Amino acid sequence: MTVAALCFDLDGTLVDSAAGVALALNTALAEDGLPPFELATVRGWIGDGPDALIARALDAGGLHGLPALAARMRLRFDAATLAVPSAQGKAYPGIAALLARLAGRYPMAVVTNKPTPLARAVLDAAGLLEHFAQLHGADTAAQRKPSPLLIQQAARRFGISAAGVLMVGDGPADLAAASAAGSPAAWAAWGYGPVPAALAGVWRLDTPADLLARLPVRTPIHQ
């Protein structure tokens, strides 16, 4: 496997944001007088973007087929996130050190199912934004992982083939997007996703430092 660039998922990979996502969701629910959900429940819904998260919450509450309510919830969710992006959580232990070691050696991008404005705010609040040359959020349904579109877009901007981009993520959508793009993948075991059914050809990372151990040492480059 030859790795020329790195793409990282955000929630559950770079930032432990579950509590903040639950806070934003429950804030949006409360404004319509709807009951909140426990953190453990919300954590299991994270990974496919806020629209999917809201749909799961409404389905769990027996509120099916209410697009106006879902749209209202999305506006409130976004507003709650942007109002206090630092509440979305902190970088996982070891992530800041990992990115500092990789910076200047591998070009890096974030590829997330969070919409770009929310992702940028959360990354900045967590002190990680400066490490990335690119940020690709899922601003349309077609871009959401497991679609390969965002990985492919990042690869084009780096001027390389998607086969040279390592996708690092914690969820099934990350691994599926990498597979669809023809990219190698690494599974972040510290995140929210379940253990993949098959890890053949996928690097398992139990800590961020494991990625450093796997990657060949490279001399500094200019991003």
Known catalytic residues?
9
CA neighbours closer than 13 Å in the CB half-sphere of residue 209: 2
∠ Cα 187 60 20 (to 5°): 50
168 to each of 9, 52, 183, 186, 205, how far by Cα in Å? Answer: 6, 21, 10, 5, 9
The continuous run of DSSP H or E covering 94 comes out as none
Give CA–CA dist 223/220, Å, rounded.
9
Q: What is the dihedral of CA 170, 173, 177, 178, to 10 degrees?
A: 20
Give CA–CA dist 190/147, Å, rounded.
23
What single string gives the DSSP state of each residue in 186-216?
EEETTSSSPPPS--TTEEEESSTHHHHHHSP
